[in-house]
Amino acid sequence: MKPLSLITPVLALGLLPAGALAQDEPGAGGNASEPQPARWASNHSIVVDGETVEYEAVVGSVILRDNEENATGELFYTGYFRTNGGDPSTRPIVFAYNGGPGSASFWLHMGIMGPRRVVTPNVGQQAPPPYPLVDNGYTVLDIADVVMVDPIGTGFSRPAGDADGTDFWGMDEDAASLTQFIRRFLSEKNRWNSPRYILGESYGTTRSVLLARHLQNANIDLNGVVLVSAVIDFNTLQFPDGSHIGFITNVPSFAVAAEYHDMLPGGRPDDLEAFMKEVEAWALTDYAQALLAGTAVDPELRARVLRQMHEYTGLSMEYLDKADLRVSAPAFEKELLRDRRLTLARLDTRFTGPTGDVLDLTPDHDAQSSAISSAYTSLFNTYVRDELGYDGDREYWPSGMARPWNWEREGGRRGPFGGSALNVGPDLAHAIERNPRLEVLLINGIYDFATPYFPIVWSLEQLGLPPDLRDNITRDDFAAGHMMYVEESLLPQWRETLAGFITRTAGGNLVP
């Protein structure tokens, strides 16, 4: 595990895990007017790190209620509970979800967290169906139970009673509903004394920051928060006129993408990590100084920055001059390989796709999403029905239903698409300061343009934490994109990073 200031973009090699044993037992759910908790349970086993792990898989729901105990929602989860691992009441438990906002958890579920996983190519288009589904020997199910959570409006989860989506689809609304879910879950499963973790990806990291604070307000402290491909300050992901931080913090990712595609004028550096640190330092000094000066910039400084930006990004000096040194992430995705009629993928810039209209200024699709989405969607729907025994009549909503999203915070703060951009950094600082034993693990993909690696690193340095609490945040970088777990060769790194974090922070209660 590295401190926040270090990175190691490592490409690890791994082996395919062995097959699983599944015995399915069907369950049943409630009715629409007054829903009852649903439950489909089955028993399985898997070999993890040379050990046979027996577990119960549950597709179930928790009924959310208002202050008068009227049902407001039915929130579904898929839980995996080890049955041959000692006392479950003190066993670590990880609640995990994706982002969006409005995305179901099937990405993390079928990519790395569950006991079965989708096999996709490291970089390139997935072949057409049938798709391969294999045992996931890199799950942490041997040391912690795993609960994959689908917030209301995703997966099988729906509003109930007189409630509608607007009661859940917002910053604090979402966090409040998951706080209630976790509280009720801990009671129903007798897990109040288990070491507790939340793990979110993309917007799920924003959710995790808010959820940690909401849970604290409910007297539920966490052992750890895992931020996968994170954003806490949306200013760093936007490029409006007159704002500079997005341009400054994204340049290091431009350099990494240009290096991968061999577009650096000086050729590839011998040491990628050292090169990244060099670009980061330049972005915060010379480049930032030139942008902040605006039209008053010293001509000599501007000329020097123009040349250096060309060397670091591979974009032509003519293009950079016309752009006035300000290049957004979508513009870079479109411009770097324009002469080859290729566009970089936002989720993983190692992926490329046909550029379509070569004169367009921004991409019209994401090549990485196009390459793997069908496999994940198809295999989750197959798996939950064939192996986990779900036979309900609901369709699984992968994304897109939780709209419109309320970006206004309690107290009137707004963002990222209404008024000033949202920054939940103060919420994270609040959570750590009030629970000094709370540990945070940041997992980045260095080829990610959706939530680039340096904006979150910079954002975490702005929390104002005292030196002793800054050490509560550790970081591991992957030579991958937004969803680093889709690359099989990096699964051992994921396993080592996450399992090590849980083992270290479980408070001495970890049961093998």
Residues in the chain, overall count? 512
Are 330 and 312 in contact by the 8 Å Cβ rule? The answer is: no
Whether pLDDT at 413 is above 90:
no
Going by pLDDT thresholds of 50, 70 and 90, the confidence category of residue 507 is: confident
Residue 6: per-residue pLDDT:
35
Read off the tokens for 257.
């993408």
Residue 385 sits in the same domain as residue 260: no
More confident residue, 127 or 381: 381
CB atoms within 10 A of CB 436: 11
Does a structural domain hold residue 57? yes
DSSP string, 351-379: -EEE-SSTT-SS-SS-HHHHHHHHHHHHH
Segment 89-98 mean pLDDT: 96
Going by pLDDT thresholds of 50, 70 and 90, the confidence category of residue 432 is: very high
Does a structural domain hold residue 36? yes
Going by pLDDT thresholds of 50, 70 and 90, the confidence category of residue 390 is: very high
Mention every residue, 6+ apart, whose C-beta is less than 8 A from residue 428.
209, 212, 232, 440, 460, 463
3-state SS string for 206-270: HHHHHHHHHHHHCCCCCCEEEEEEECCEHHHHCCCCCCCHHHHHHHHHHHHHHHHCCCCCCCCCC
Going by pLDDT thresholds of 50, 70 and 90, the confidence category of residue 182 is: very high
Does a structural domain hold residue 512? no
DSSP string, 387-425: TS----SPPPB-BS-S-S-B-PPTTS---SSSSSPPB-H
Residue 431 sits in the same domain as residue 498: yes
Which residue in the block uniquely carries the two structure tokens 């950079």? 320
HSE-CB at 341 with a 13 A cutoff on CA atoms is 4
Residue 9: per-residue pLDDT:
32
Going by pLDDT thresholds of 50, 70 and 90, the confidence category of residue 417 is: very low
Looking at every residue in the chain, the average pLDDT score rounds to 89
Distance between CA atoms of residues 302 and 283, nearest Å: 13
* Beta-bridge partners for 343: 353
Segment 141-167 mean pLDDT: 97
Residue 470: per-residue pLDDT:
96
Residue 307: per-residue pLDDT:
98
Whether pLDDT at 206 is above 70:
yes
Distance between CA atoms of residues 445 and 477, nearest Å: 6
User: Which of 315, 346, 367 is at the close of a domain?
Assistant: 367
Residue 106 sits in the same domain as residue 145: yes
Residue 29: per-residue pLDDT:
39
Which of 250, 9, 236, 211 lies closest to 101, judged by CA? Answer: 211
Whether pLDDT at 229 is above 70:
yes
pLDDT digits (tens, 9 = 90+) for 280-322: 999 999 999 999 999 999 999 999 999 999 999 999 999 999 9
Residue 398 sits in the same domain as residue 498: yes
Residue 357 sits in the same domain as residue 401: no
Element containing residue 176 per DSSP (H, E): helix 171-188
The separation between the first and the last C-alpha atoms of the chain, rounded to the nearest angstrom, is 21
Residue 358: per-residue pLDDT:
59
More confident residue, 64 or 356: 64
Rounded to 5 degrees, φ, ψ at 149 are -105, 130
Residue 239: per-residue pLDDT:
93
Segment 210-233 mean pLDDT: 97
Residue 158 sits in the same domain as residue 13: yes
Does a structural domain hold residue 323? yes
CATH number for the domain that contains residue 75: 3.40.50.1820
Does a structural domain hold residue 136? yes
Segment 227-233 mean pLDDT: 97
When divided into structural domains, the chain yields a total of 2
Residue 434 sits in the same domain as residue 339: no
Mention every residue, 6+ apart, whose C-beta is less than 8 A from residue 356.
343, 364, 365
Give the C-alpha distances (Å, rounded to integers) separating 187 from 59, 181, 183.
18, 10, 6
Distance between CA atoms of residues 329 and 332, nearest Å: 5
Segment 461-474 mean pLDDT: 96
Are 500 and 466 in contact by the 8 Å Cβ rule? The answer is: no
Are 14 and 489 in contact by the 8 Å Cβ rule? The answer is: yes
Does a structural domain hold residue 470? yes
pLDDT digits (tens, 9 = 90+) for 317-353: 999 999 999 999 999 999 999 999 999 999 999 988 8
User: Which of 367, 398, 418 is at the close of a domain?
Assistant: 367
Distance between CA atoms of residues 39 and 118, nearest Å: 24
Segment 399-411 mean pLDDT: 86
Segment 440-451 mean pLDDT: 97
Read off the tokens for 393.
């009549």
HSE-CB at 357 with a 13 A cutoff on CA atoms is 7
Residue 31 sits in the same domain as residue 89: yes
Which residue in the block uniquely carries the two structure tokens 């039915």? 74
Q: Is the dihedral of CA 115, 485, 441, 417 positive or negative?
A: negative
pLDDT digits (tens, 9 = 90+) for 263-286: 999 999 999 999 999 999 999 999
Residue 74 sits in the same domain as residue 103: yes
Residue 360 sits in the same domain as residue 479: no
Give the C-alpha distances (Å, rounded to integers) separating 47 from 44, 52, 80, 197, 320.
11, 4, 14, 23, 53
Give the percent of the chain with pLDDT over 70: 86
Domain hosting residue 304, numbered range: 239-367
Residue 474: per-residue pLDDT:
98
Residue 25: per-residue pLDDT:
31
Does a structural domain hold residue 511? no
Segment 208-231 mean pLDDT: 97
How far from chain centre, in Å, is Cα 171?
16
Distance between CA atoms of residues 481 and 350, nearest Å: 8
Segment 357-369 mean pLDDT: 57
pLDDT digits (tens, 9 = 90+) for 9-63: 332 322 223 333 233 332 333 344 689 999 999 999 999 999 999 999 999 999 9
Distance between CA atoms of residues 140 and 55, nearest Å: 12
Rounded to 5 degrees, φ, ψ at 401 are -95, -25
Residue 344 sits in the same domain as residue 399: no
Residue 16: per-residue pLDDT:
27
Does a structural domain hold residue 199? yes
Distance between CA atoms of residues 86 and 74, nearest Å: 31
Residue 238 burial class via C-beta count within 10 angstroms: exposed 0-12, middle 13-18, buried 19 and up:
middle
Residue 197 sits in the same domain as residue 289: no
User: Which of 310, 340, 367 is at the close of a domain?
Assistant: 367
| Number of DSSP helices (H) and strands (E) in the chain, helices first | 14, 16
